[in-house]
């Protein structure tokens, strides 16, 4: 049984995907040149009249814009994202090659950010006025003021150029046969740059929520009745995690933006780097495809966060107000 709230969130996700698709379709319309050749990709001169005719029909290119949009959307939903104009390969193929890298980077960084921020935020939040409490605020402002890519440049200088212990770029060995160890070695720098620049703000948000929760009436009642600190802390963290998750949801889009830049710096072969490459080389079908995929990634991530919130917060489940 899906509650009204979950349904609402799903509708929201679909609306977002429509907006992203408009954005993507807009590229096709605004891009210079013949749309048919854009979908064909590669060398437009070799395009035969018959092939051109076929593409024109498939995408309704001789019809009004609205029909073109629907035709394009239909093809996109089917998984046909066109052909890269620079590589001459299907866009979906290129994206599928790179998707695992982006998912790996995203899940590893998010995992450490969440674990680290919960630990730091709880320690600091439960000890109001302590050195942890004050220290975390400063730490969070300071680390969130560092441009991630600049920290990345410093890391490269230090760990790759000076010490030579880590590879300066790429997501695997040239032949790609390095196995897990090789993958991890390539992952360390991009991941730690993202973790260091993000863990502070999330920890701080949790810390503030915990402090608010700690001053709630029910906490006073529990303390007065000798409920153990451990069990009180569990309740506080659980309740504070609801606004914290909400904050994660709000900041996920900008986190994706940040990882696009970090992927590019470290030449991490993911969707983010692909998007930037598509912009730089004006490979419009590739750009359209990578934007759509990024949109889907954001929406799916947000939906997962929504489901976790739904599991934690009984008010959402019981249809109460929040």
Partner 1 sequence: MKSRKTLWFWCCLLGLIVFLTVFSSLLAPFSPNKMNMEEVYSAPSSEHWLGTDHLGRDVLSRLLEGGKVTLAVASSSVILSLVIGVVYGGISGYFGGVIDTVMMRLLEALITIPSLIIILVFQAIIQGGMWGMALLIGLTGWLVTARIVRSEFIRLKEEEFVKMANMFGTPVWKILWGHLLRNSIPAIFVVTLFNFAGAIFMEVSLSFLGIGIPPAIPSWGNMLYYAQNDILIGAWWIALFPGIMIFLTILAINFIGEAWKNPERRRVND
Partner 2 sequence: MIEVKDLSIEIKDQHITKHIDFTIRRGKITSLIGESGSGKSMTVSALLGLLPIDAKVSGYVMYEGRNILDASVQEMASLRRQDIFTIFQDASNSFNPSVKLGHQLYTFSGERVGDTLDVFNEKMHVILDQLGLAWEVVEQYPFQLSGGMLQRCMIACAFYVEPALLIADEPTSALDMVLQKEFIQLLIRLNEERGTTILLITHDLDIVAEAAHEMAVMQQGTIVEMGTVETVFSNPRDAYTKRLLESRF
CA distance 55 to 176: 36
Placement of tokens 């048919």 in the chain: 36
Least gap, CB of 12 to partner 2 (angstroms): 23
End-to-end CA distance of the chain: 21
103 contributes a contact to partner 1 by CB under 8 A: no
Per-residue binding string, partner 1, 13-32, x by CB under 8 A, is: --xx--xx--xx-xx--xx-
**CB-side exposure of 166: number of CA atoms within 13 Å?**
22
Region near partner 1 per CB under 8 A, out of 10-18, 51-59, 93-101, 103-111:
10-18
| Interacting partner of 257 out of partner 2, partner 1, none (Cβ under 5 to 8 A depending on kind) | partner 1
Give the count of beta carbons closer than 10 Å to the beta carbon of residue 50.
8
| 99 alpha-carbon distance from chain centroid | 12
Angle 115-118-123 from CA coordinates, rounded to 5°: 125
Task: With beta carbons less than 8 A apart as the criterion, state whether 239 and 213 touch.
Answer: yes
Residue with Cβ nearer partner 1 (56 or 144): 144
Tokens in use for 11?
A: 């509708």
Residue with Cβ nearer partner 2 (198 or 211): 211
Of 42, 235, 243, 253, the one binding partner 2 (CB under 8 A) is 235
Of 6, 10, 12, 73, the one binding partner 1 (CB under 8 A) is 12
Instruction: Please report which helix (H) or strand (E) contains residue 160, including its range.
Output: none
Per-residue binding string, partner 1, 129-168, x by CB under 8 A, is: --------x---xx-xxxx-xx--xx-xx--xx------x
Which of 95, 135, 6 is CA-nearest to residue 289? 95
DSSP 147: -
157 contributes a contact to partner 2 by CB under 8 A: no
311 contributes a contact to partner 2 by CB under 8 A: no
32 contributes a contact to partner 2 by CB under 8 A: no
Placement of tokens 């600190």 in the chain: 229
Which of 157, 197, 167 is CA-nearest to residue 267? 167
257 contributes a contact to partner 1 by CB under 8 A: yes
Region near partner 1 per CB under 8 A, out of 44-52, 72-80, 173-181, 293-301:
293-301
Least gap, CB of 214 to partner 2 (angstroms): 12
Task: With beta carbons less than 8 A apart as the criterion, state whether 290 and 271 touch.
Answer: yes
CA distance 319 to 222: 26
Residue with Cβ nearer partner 2 (29 or 231): 231
Residue with Cβ nearer partner 2 (114 or 227): 227
Task: With beta carbons less than 8 A apart as the criterion, state whether 73 and 21 touch.
Answer: yes
Of 47, 70, 222, 267, the one binding partner 2 (CB under 8 A) is 222
Least gap, CB of 219 to partner 2 (angstroms): 8
CA distance 177 to 154: 28
Residues that bind partner 1 (CB under 8 A): 12, 15-16, 19-20, 23-24, 26-27, 30-31, 137, 141-142, 144-147, 149-150, 153-154, 156-157, 160-161, 168, 250, 253-254, 256-257, 260-261, 264-265, 275-276, 278-280, 282, 284, 287, 291, 294-295, 298-299, 302
């Amino acid at each position: 049984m899906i509650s009204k709230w979950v349904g609402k969130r799903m509708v929201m996700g679909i609306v977002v995907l429509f907006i992203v698709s408009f954005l993507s379709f807009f590229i096709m319309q605004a891009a210079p040149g013949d749309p048919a050749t854009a979908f064909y990709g590669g060398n437009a001169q070799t395009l035969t009249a018959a092939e051109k005719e076929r593409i024109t029909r498939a995408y309704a290119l001789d019809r009004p814009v609205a029909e073109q949009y629907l035709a394009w959307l239909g093809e996109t939903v089917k998984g046909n994202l066109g052909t890269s104009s620079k590589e001459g390969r299907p866009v979906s193929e290129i994206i599928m090659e790179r998707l695992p890298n982006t998912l790996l980077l995203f899940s590893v960084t998010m995992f450490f950010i969440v674990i680290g921020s919960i630990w730091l935020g709880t320690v600091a939040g439960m000890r109001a006025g302590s050195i942890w409490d004050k220290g975390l605020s400063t730490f969070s402002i300071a680390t969130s003021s560092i441009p991630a890519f600049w920290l990345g440049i410093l890391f490269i200088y230090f760990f790759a150029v000076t010490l030579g212990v880590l590879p300066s770029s790429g997501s695997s060995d040239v032949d790609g046969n390095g196995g897990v160890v090789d993958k991890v070695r390539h992952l360390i720098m991009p991941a730690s740059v993202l973790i260091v620049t993000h863990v502070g703000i999330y920890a701080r948000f949790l810390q503030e929520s915990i402090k608010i929760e700690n001053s709630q009436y029910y906490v006073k009642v529990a303390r007065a009745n000798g409920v153990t600190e451990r069990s009180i802390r569990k309740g506080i963290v659980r309740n504070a995690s609801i606004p914290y998750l909400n904050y994660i949801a709000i900041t996920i889009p900008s986190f994706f933006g940040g990882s696009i830049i970090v992927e590019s710096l470290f030449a991490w072969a993911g969707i983010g780097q692909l998007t930037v490459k598509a912009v730089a080389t004006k490979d419009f079908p590739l750009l359209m495809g990578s934007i759509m995929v990024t949109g889907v990634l954001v929406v799916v991530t947000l939906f997962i966060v929504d489901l976790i919130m739904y599991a934690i917060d009984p008010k959402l489940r019981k249809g109460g107000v929040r």
